[in-house]
Amino acid sequence: ENRYRIVISCPDQPGIVAAVSEFLYKQQANIMESNQYTTDPDGGSFFLRIEFECQQDGDTQQQLEHGFQQIADHFKMDWQLVRVRNLKKLALFVSKELHCLQEILWEYESGHLMADLSVIVSNHEDARELAKSYNIPFYHIPANKDIRQQAERQQLELLEQYNIDTVILARYMQILTPGFLENYKNNIINIHHSFLPAFIGAKPYERAFDRGVKLIGATSHYVTSDLDEGPIIEQDIHRVNHKDKAEDLKRVGRLVERSVLMRAIKWHIDDRVIVFGNKTIVF
Amino acid sequence: ENRYRIVISCPDQPGIVAAVSEFLYKQQANIMESNQYTTDPDGGSFFLRIEFECQQDGDTQQQLEHGFQQIADHFKMDWQLVRVRNLKKLALFVSKELHCLQEILWEYESGHLMADLSVIVSNHEDARELAKSYNIPFYHIPANKDIRQQAERQQLELLEQYNIDTVILARYMQILTPGFLENYKNNIINIHHSFLPAFIGAKPYERAFDRGVKLIGATSHYVTSDLDEGPIIEQDIHRVNHKDKAEDLKRVGRLVERSVLMRAIKWHIDDRVIVFGNKTIVF
Amino acid sequence: ENRYRIVISCPDQPGIVAAVSEFLYKQQANIMESNQYTTDPDGGSFFLRIEFECQQDGDTQQQLEHGFQQIADHFKMDWQLVRVRNLKKLALFVSKELHCLQEILWEYESGHLMADLSVIVSNHEDARELAKSYNIPFYHIPANKDIRQQAERQQLELLEQYNIDTVILARYMQILTPGFLENYKNNIINIHHSFLPAFIGAKPYERAFDRGVKLIGATSHYVTSDLDEGPIIEQDIHRVNHKDKAEDLKRVGRLVERSVLMRAIKWHIDDRVIVFGNKTIVF
Amino acid sequence: ENRYRIVISCPDQPGIVAAVSEFLYKQQANIMESNQYTTDPDGGSFFLRIEFECQQDGDTQQQLEHGFQQIADHFKMDWQLVRVRNLKKLALFVSKELHCLQEILWEYESGHLMADLSVIVSNHEDARELAKSYNIPFYHIPANKDIRQQAERQQLELLEQYNIDTVILARYMQILTPGFLENYKNNIINIHHSFLPAFIGAKPYERAFDRGVKLIGATSHYVTSDLDEGPIIEQDIHRVNHKDKAEDLKRVGRLVERSVLMRAIKWHIDDRVIVFGNKTIVF
């Protein structure tokens, strides 16, 4: 169909919505959903996401982009125009814990994940069979501290080969270097198995158990070079009690991880998430 | 300050956002937050809420309204332009259970409820002292099945006298007649002490206890002539267990009622709630 | 290992805990976890669940049961002694929606469901492949209003053949007759896709959408001959908003159904759920 | 009435429940609710809370305590026998933010807080009027880093004078010294306005805002000499979004703080909380 989304960030000033919506009107677009937010009336930042239908024939997207460039330049916009039917291509990076991968595959199979699952990459063999059963290419690229550079070179080649838009770290337990990250800025989504900023780093469930918390959480965020410090997309928690051992926290936490990562991915592929400094606007 | 909100419902068609935003731009308005939603691209309904600042001198609101009328007529809009600093005038109707009233008064006193609490009306005397301690006029108007008409006449006179915009039924346990309701269409907010549509009508906590539910809820909705069937604004729940008697459900439920009603009131006075058929859009 | 559970319901009177715990002590049992609840100090009902270890050799369970009978008779107990390593045998009944089945299989495979998944029964073919991939016997028994008796006869034969303890209706959309139910009293668990008692019966998501609720829920309960009226084991909800169509409620609801049914099953197989009238005690 | 609670911690070994329950039976006690938990079957710790009624005449509590001492000695128990009608005496410490105090006073007035609110202490004058309106003695004791010792001396004298059992820090923003704490070990409850261990220390809402979290939380814990590191009693969270400024987080957070502290207080005065190392068992 002819559905599009335009997502805009720029310095706030009067007239932006008017200019954008007049442009869309002249393209005979019909706006389906629009969300706008300004951080501060005085010198703040302006964010806009519009989903619209445009019934024109021919190469509409290029026309739209071309026509819009003038407005974008005028208002100094960071912007993106996306055709909804051009699904984002995702690469899933996993390690040995497969519950997040499985949730993603499941939603994908049931038709509720509007993206291409193009490739699964792992530093272990555990996910191979699962990938195969869903007919998704699987690549085993060993990775650890000592061979990080080589591994990332292979990974980047794969991502290029598959024309990947977004990398999902679905419990991929390796650190990525800044060199890798800069290729996919604001397009690498991680799930951390704690309520950030609590329990940054390794073994969060064990540390949550040791601290005696009454709720355990999970956080999905864009990856930056600061470990577990990137812009948070979504968080959620589940209640635990004194009877729960570290092993129980892990088990309960898996459910939270699955649903938090899933929501983050869906918002991302729906272009609902805009990164602003170290935070996200989620429309 | 010079902050305004415009809230619009109309049949969907292309060009609405363009027309509205161009109008605002010409008024030198700066849009702070904008939310738009369309139920269906084909022949659906269109909803828009824009919050903006307009630095003009003089009688800006009247100018804005006058200027906007032409656009409104063209698109067959239900619309409302509100100046933020003109606070809505609320009447609180209560009975013997005062926890919701108290929560409202408390938020009011702490400066987090941007409305005028103009008058408190009750069919009992219980709230008099509380009203007095907050310096809010209190009227005792006895009400029950037999004297409903007379009571409502007195109430309506009071509402007129105080120039009331919105009536909050903060656990007011009397039914209001259609004759009363039509004067404040979509401006009477009730809190029902159950997760509607479960336990419509009387004694919901007792019935929730008898049914052995594991969660109890509360629902805030606009009042219509169908008991507990009006458009839902907000709902929430709290977990209970087998140790909780009906009395405990009431106690826990009071907390849920307080926060649910409070959120509904705040969204209403922020003009974030649009009624559409028997549902609400909450921006 | 030598871990056991004893679960007791009886009329309350002084001395029950003393008698039971003295008995266990004489058997050299070590109590791991004990929960007791009395509905009412005056003439109420008494409920007790004790998990303990007993290091004796030989046929301990029979000895324990034999020894305990005298105490049980004295206090008029309904009671059950369960050896933890003797896993309950489950039959899963499904129809065309497989998300609950899939969640169960998944937890089973990851070792977090301490039960035997003995057989999967369906009135459709959809689950066959999934069952096969987990090596669980699958039986297609057509069922509808007209052939209910014949279908239930076949089902009961299967349940007997596989020595089934508990039937899980994991979105099995057929009604079971009282004749069937009486064979597995308090051992048939259903998941209903609404927050009971709201939206009893068919198409709860569509009705929730029509009502404009702000939260959707799911309820797991023991099945009785009153449709969706049996003792509730667990409920949960998820927030929705005006943008969600009926289809979205279904999608979000699937997540709630999965986790609610899963918790109910786990509590049941851990013998944590005691039915009392039309309610449950969950220890 | 004649309701009691006994709360026990000791090294696990067989026979403890038997000994305790036999003792209670001989006293003609009727057990209302009993909860037991063992951390580890091999050399773990044993926790028991029993609520019971004992219809004997005369000085029952002393008799019970005297009789029980032998059992307690045998099993090396930390134990406490509490008569329910002997309400705990609470001192409320507050500063300038009064929402937690107000919630406590409110629950107290509505009869849902089974404790004596004996005295309110503050380093500011803000709460004086509120205290007065509830007829609770109020003491203004200035406190800051420089006069801490003197302030604590005055405070301790007051606590002794009022025979205080438990100190509630209802947003009391001063640090207490180890010398003060040791007088009320496991009997000083604090509310911290974050989801611990995230945002330990000052200005948690501002820091939560800066980090861009999607949920804000509150934590109630027993106070130890490690700031915000004491045993957690209860935690809860509320969802926020990109529109919420630090000020909004504070406002929403106040609701969470109020309910979390309230639950912690109620469990504490019901003797449901047992401290074990740096964690709590909550029965």
Q: Which two tokens stand for residue A282?
A: 């989620």
Question: Under a CB-based contact definition with an 8 Å cutoff, are residues B261 and B100 in contact?
Answer: yes
pLDDT in the model for residue A58: 67
Q: Closest chain A residue to D38 measured between Cα atoms?
A: A243
Q: What are A's interface residues with B at a Cβ cutoff of 8 A?
A: 12-22, 24-25, 28-38, 41, 48, 53
pLDDT of D55 strictly over 90: no
For the cut 80, the answer to whether the pLDDT of residue B109 exceeds it is: yes
Q: Which burial class, exposed, middle or buried, applies to A40 when counting CB atoms under 10 A from its CB (0-12, 13-18, 19+)?
A: exposed
Which pLDDT score, from 0 to 100, does residue B93 have? 98
Mean pLDDT, residues B125-141: 96
pLDDT of A240 strictly over 80: yes
Q: Mean per-residue pLDDT for D46-54?
A: 95
CATH number for the domain including D19?
A: 3.30.70.260
Interface confidence, given as ipTM, is 0.91
Owning domain of residue B181:
88-282
Facing A18 at nearest CB: one of B22, B37, B48:
B22
Query: Could you read off the pLDDT of C139-173 as tens digits, one per residue?
Result: 999 998 999 999 999 999 999 999 999 999 999 99
Mutation site for D-interface testing, chosen from A37, A215, A248 by largest number of D Cβ within 10 Å: A215
Q: Tokens 């824009």 map to which residue?
A: B50
Which residue of A lies nearest to B21 if distances are taken between CA atoms?
A18
Which site among B49, B110, B283 would you substitute to test the D interface, given the most D Cβ atoms closer than 10 Å to its Cβ?
B110
Residues A146, A247 within the same domain: yes
Q: Are C20 and C6 in contact (CB under 8 A)?
A: yes
Q: Which residue has the tokens 């209003």?
A: C145
Question: Which H/E stretch holds residue C4?
Answer: strand C3-11
Which of chain A's residues have a Cβ under 8 Å away from the Cβ of B22?
18, 21-22
Measured between CB atoms, which of A37, A214, A279 is closest to D212?
A279
Domain boundary among C39, C57, C83: C83
* Helix count and strand count (H, E) for chain C: 8, 13
Cβ–Cβ below 8 Å for C33 and A133: no
Answer with the one of A83, A118, A146 that is the final residue of a domain: A83
pLDDT value of residue C41: 76
Residues A127 and A28 in one domain: no
Residues C76 and C92 in one domain: no
Q: Is C152:C172 a contact under the CB 8 Å cutoff?
A: no
pLDDT, residue C55, reads 78
Tokens in use for B60?
A: 């800006």
Q: Which of D215, D163, D209, D216 is CA-nearest to residue D187?
A: D163
Q: What would the pLDDT profile of C231-281 be if each residue is shown by its tens digit?
A: 999 999 999 999 999 999 999 999 999 999 999 999 999 999 999 999 999
Closest partner CB to C106 (pick from A102, A112, A133): A102
What chain A residue is nearest to B31 in terms of C-alpha separation?
A14
Q: Are residues B103 and B223 in the same domain?
A: yes
Residue A268 pLDDT exceeds 90 = yes
Q: Do D251 and B112 touch (CB under 8 A)?
A: yes
Q: Which among A133, A243, A259 is the nearest to C255, CB-wise?
A: A259
Based on the fold, state whether residues A12 and A135 are members of the same structural domain: no
Q: Residue D57: which pLDDT band, with cuts at 50, 70 and 90? A: low
Same domain, A7 and A107: no
Q: Which two tokens stand for residue D221?
A: 């814990």
In angstroms, the separation between the Cα of residue B246 and the nearest Cα of chain C is 12
The first and second tokens of residue A154, run together, are 């292979």
Instruction: Look at residue B217 and tell me whether its pLDDT is greater than 80.
Output: yes
Cβ contact (<8 Å) for B38 and A31? yes
Please state, in angstroms and rounded to a whole number, the distance separating the CA atoms of residues C160 and A24: 67
User: Could you read off the pLDDT of A72-109 as tens digits, one per residue?
Assistant: 999 999 999 999 999 999 999 999 999 999 999 999 99
CA distance C130 to chain B (A): 32
Contact B24 A17 (CB under 8 A): yes
**Residues of B catalogued as catalytic:** 228
Nearest-angstrom CA–CA distance, D200 and D192: 8
pLDDT of res. B1: 77
B56-83 confidence digits (pLDDT tens): 666 788 889 999 999 999 999 999 999 9
Residues 6+ apart with CB under 8 A from B280: B222, B231, B232, B233, B273, B274, C212, C242
User: What pLDDT does B263 receive?
Assistant: 97
Q: Which positions in chain C touch D22 (Cβ < 8 Å)?
A: 18, 21-22
Residue in C241, D66, C203 with CA at minimum distance from that of residue B35 = C241
Give yes or no for a contact between D165 and D92, defined as CB atoms under 8 angstroms apart.
no
Q: How confident is the model at residue D58 (pLDDT cuts 50, 70, 90)?
A: low
- Domain shared by D73 and D134, yes or no: no
Tell me: pLDDT of B225 over 80: yes
User: Per-residue confidence at A245, pLDDT binned at 50, 70, 90?
Assistant: very high
A115 close to A96: Cβ distance less than 8 angstroms: no
Cβ–Cβ below 8 Å for B251 and D112: yes
CATH number at residue C167: 3.40.50.170
Sheet of D188-192, strand order: D138-140, D115-122, D88-94, D166-169, D188-192, D215-222, D232-239
Whether the pLDDT of residue B199 is over 90: the answer is yes
CB A32 within 8 A of CB B41: yes
Q: Are residues B76 and B202 in the same domain?
A: no
Whether residues A270 and A185 share a domain: the answer is yes
pLDDT score recorded for residue D41: 76
pLDDT tens profile B162-195: 999 999 999 998 999 999 999 999 999 999 999 9
Residue A135 has pLDDT above 70, yes or no: yes
Total domain count for chain A? 2
Token reading at B23: 């109008």
Say if CB C267 and CB C259 are below 8 A apart.
no
Q: Would you state the pLDDT for residue B58?
A: 67
Q: By the 8 A CB rule, do A95 and A173 touch?
A: yes
Whether the per-residue pLDDT at C220 is higher than 90: the answer is yes
CB contact under 8 A, C110 and A99: yes
pLDDT at C195: 95
B53 interaction partners in chain A (CB closer than 8 Å)? 41
Residue A212, Cα to own-chain centre: how many angstroms?
31
As a whole number, mean pLDDT of residues D205-226 equals 97
**A139-153 pLDDT tens trace:** 999 998 999 999 999
What crossing angle do the helices spanning D60-75 and D16-26 adopt, rounded to 10°? Answer: 160
Bridge partner residues of B30 (DSSP): B53
Residues of D in contact with B112 (CB under 8 A): 251
Q: Which residues of C touch D (CB under 8 A)?
A: 12-22, 24-25, 28-38, 41, 48, 53
| Poorest-pLDDT segment among A205-219, B33-47, B194-208, C202-216 | B33-47
A107 shares its domain with A75 = no
Find the catalytic residue in C116, C165, C228, C271.
C228
Question: CB-based burial of residue C66 (10 Å sphere; 0-12 exposed, 13-18 middle, 19+ buried)?
Answer: exposed
Q: What is the pLDDT of residues A53-65, one digit of tens each?
A: 987 666 788 889 9
| C53 chain-D contacts, CB cut-off 8 A | 41
For chains A and C, what is the number of CB pairs under 8 angstroms? 13
Look at residue A227 and tell me whether its pLDDT is greater than 90.
no
Query: What CA–CA distance (Å, rounded) separates B199 from B208?
Result: 7
**What HEC string does chain D produce?**
CCEEEEEEEEECCCCHHHHHHHHHHHCCEEEEEEEEEECCCCCCEEEEEEEEEECCCCCHHHHHHHHHHHHHHHHCCEEEEEECCCCEEEEEEECCCCHHHHHHHHHHHCCCCCEEEEEEEECCCCCHHHHHHCCCCEEECCCCHHHHHHHHHHHHHHHHHCCCCEEEECCCCCCCCHHHHHHHCCCEEEEECCCCCCCCCCCHHHHHHHHCCCEEEEEEEECCCCCCCCCEEEEEEEECCCCCCHHHHHHHHHHHHHHHHHHHHHHHHCCCEEEECCEEEEC
Q: Is the pLDDT of residue D52 over 90?
A: yes
The set of long-range contacts for B119-122, using a CB threshold of 8 Å and a minimum separation of 24, is B119/B91, B119/B92, B119/B158, B119/B159, B119/B162, B119/B164, B120/B91, B120/B92, B120/B93, B120/B94, B121/B91, B121/B92, B121/B93, B121/B94, B121/B155, B121/B158, B122/B93, B122/B94, B122/B95, B122/B172
- In this structure, are A173 and A247 located in the same domain? yes
CA distance A133 to A140: 16
Looking at residue B42, its pLDDT comes to 80
| pLDDT of B43 strictly over 80 | yes
A150–chain C nearest CA distance, Å:
33
* Average pLDDT of the segment spanning A113-124: 97
Length of chain B: 283
Exposed, middle or buried, D186 (CB in 10 Å: 0-12/13-18/19+)? Answer: middle
Let me know whether D106 and D223 are in one domain: yes
A255–C251 CB contact, under 8 Å: no
Question: What is the tens place of the pLDDT at every residue in C40-95?
Answer: 878 899 999 999 998 766 678 888 999 999 999 999 999 999 999 999 999 999 99
What percent of chain D clears pLDDT 90, i.e. is strictly above it? 90
Domain stop point among C67, C83, C99: C83
pLDDT tens, position by position, B236-250? 999 999 999 999 999
CA distance D46 to D44: 7
